[in-house]
Structure 1
Amino acid sequence: MKKKPFVILLIILILSLISAACEGTIQAEKKVIRIGATAGPYSDQIRKGIQPILEKKGYKVELIEFNDYIQPNVALVNGSIDANVFQNTTYLENYIQENHVDLTGVIPIPTVPMGLYSKKHDSLKEVKEGTKISLPNDPVNEARALGMLQKFGLIKLKPGADVLHASEKDITENPKKIEIVPMEAAQLPRSLDDVDFALINGNYAIASGLKLGDAINLEQTPKNYIIVLTVRTSDKEKPFVKDLVDAYRSKEFDELIDREFKGFIKP
């Protein structure tokens, strides 16, 4: 009879240990953050600046790299990743509208500008009749590139054209009969061997080995084209998102940008 209290206490202790182990496992799982980013500078920012800060807070960071502008949002929506870093505000808003998903941009991050590059020419003065210029084929970045060509004085878009959604159909004047070659953004650096000029998203330019100083002209990036850290709206108030935001706002990260990402536009 005297053994019963001991046995009961032993059972309670065992159950408590099991419960604590399970709770610890759950908390450990919550400490894993999976971040998707396009290969290049935004992945490098995470790897060199964000990951070390989060690891000091006890997180394990898994960085998943993508080579296009489609899969990062697909992965975020289906839960394969917890956040992504690749898209600007305009692209995100357009994606939400077209796909009816619930995503939120929580903080703008240092952004590399789109640039005009060439292996064959040193100046826009060398543009002549029939010049080939490649640019991104997704609607948002195509409109962005066409806006740059208009600023260069190479084309004119119809009056009232929405510069955030303009397409080739909106070109009203093309005096030098420039041949515009839309293609997937990731392929633009490779196109430099086949075209005269290419308007290349900054992340893909740097990932391919190009430098900002190699550009013939760089975009004066407006606010709506600044890259944003994006999460599922249902997660935006969660602690891991706050910790991500704090990491991007930290002094350590700011110093990294000044040291290793010169020329990036700070929000």
Structure 2
Amino acid sequence: MTSLSCSRFLALLLSGLTFLSVGSAAPAQAPAAASDKPLKVGVSAGPYGDVPREAARLSVRQGIKAEIIEFTDWNQPNAALQAGDIETSVLDVAENPKKLQIVETDAAQLPRSLDDVAAAFVTSNYAYLAGLDLNTGLVSEPAAEEAKPYFTRVFAAREDRKDDPRIKTFIEIYRSQPMKDFTLAKFKGSILPAW
């Protein structure tokens, strides 16, 4: 792999992709009928699932029961979202106007794929586990303020579910101050709230 920083690569990658972000400025109230059914949220397994789990716990106060479904393969949430098995996930490519060739690969396999691709975005947890030197990446995962344009988690929903008030309320809870406090306390700086 050439000497391109991970952040620069990610910036280049994101400039060629558009993500569907679902959000709302004012708190949404879940209708009674929808609140009877759990909101199924697809997440990556491990630490990245801990934050949505805490948001699910807090969402009960707003009358929303959220069921967090963990996936060990980053490709699975997209398929589950499209199949209607989950209502939202934490990342989905909606458009690719630059026609970048994106090869979906299991996150744990990304370090091994570096010889076979022009670039790969390997998060620090997988880079560390694979024995990669975190100081030699083309780009490092930056601090929270620097990360906002690139590393903020984006919630994705199918077009027919993007206006579901349960999803909007869950996202508001996820991006709240109590969630920032939870993330900072639990991960002690290794995962930062960039929202």
Q: TM-score, normalised to structure 2's length?
A: 0.59
Q: Percent identical across equivalent pairs?
A: 32
Q: Does 1:238 align with 2:158?
A: no
Larger Rg: 1
1:75 CA drift (Å):
0.9
Shift, 1:265, TM fit: 5.6
1:80 CA displacement? 0.3
Alignment partners' CA distance in 1, 2:156 and 2:68 = 14
Greater relative contact order structure (CA < 8 Å, 6+ sep): 2
AA partner of residue 44 (structure 2): T
Corresponding letter in the other structure for 1:42: Y
User: Counterparts of 1:118-267 in structure 2 under 5 Å?
Assistant: 139=102, 184-188=106-110, 200-202=122-124, 204=126, 215-216=134-135, 218-220=140-142, 221=147, 223-261=149-187, 262-263=189-190, 264=192, 266-267=194-195
CA shift in 2, pair 1:63/1:209, >3 Å: farther
1:180 — aligned with what?
none
Q: What stretches of structure 1 move > 4 A for 4+ residues in a row?
A: 203-206
Match of 1:40 in 2: 46
Q: Which amino acid aligns with 2:55?
A: I
**RMSD between aligned residues:** 3.5
TM-score (norm 1): 0.45
Gaps of 5+ in 1: 1-23, 99-137, 142-182, 192-197
Q: Which residue in 2 is equivalent to 1:105?
A: none
1:120: which partner in 2? none
Name the CA shift for 1:254/1:80 in 2 (closer, same or farther; >3 Å): same
Q: Which amino acid aligns with 2:36?
A: E
User: One-letter code of the match for 1:216?
Assistant: N
**8 Å contact kept, 2:180–2:193:** no
Q: Secondary structure in 1 aligned to 2:85? A: coil
The equivalent residue for 1:84 is: 89
The 1:205–1:229 alpha-carbon spacing in structure 2 relative to 1, beyond 3 Å, is farther
Q: 1:232 to 1:215 in 2, by over 3 A?
A: same
What's 1:75 paired with?
A: 80
Matched-pair contact (CA < 8 Å) for 2:148–2:194 = no
Distance 1:232 1:203 in 2: 29
Paired residue secondary structure (2:155) = strand
Q: Distance in 2 between matches of 1:41 and 1:86?
A: 16
Q: Bigger CA drift: 238-247 or 224-233?
A: 224-233
TM-aligned CA distance change 1:29 to 1:97, over 3 Å: farther
Quote how far apart the aligned CAs of 1:238 are. 2.2
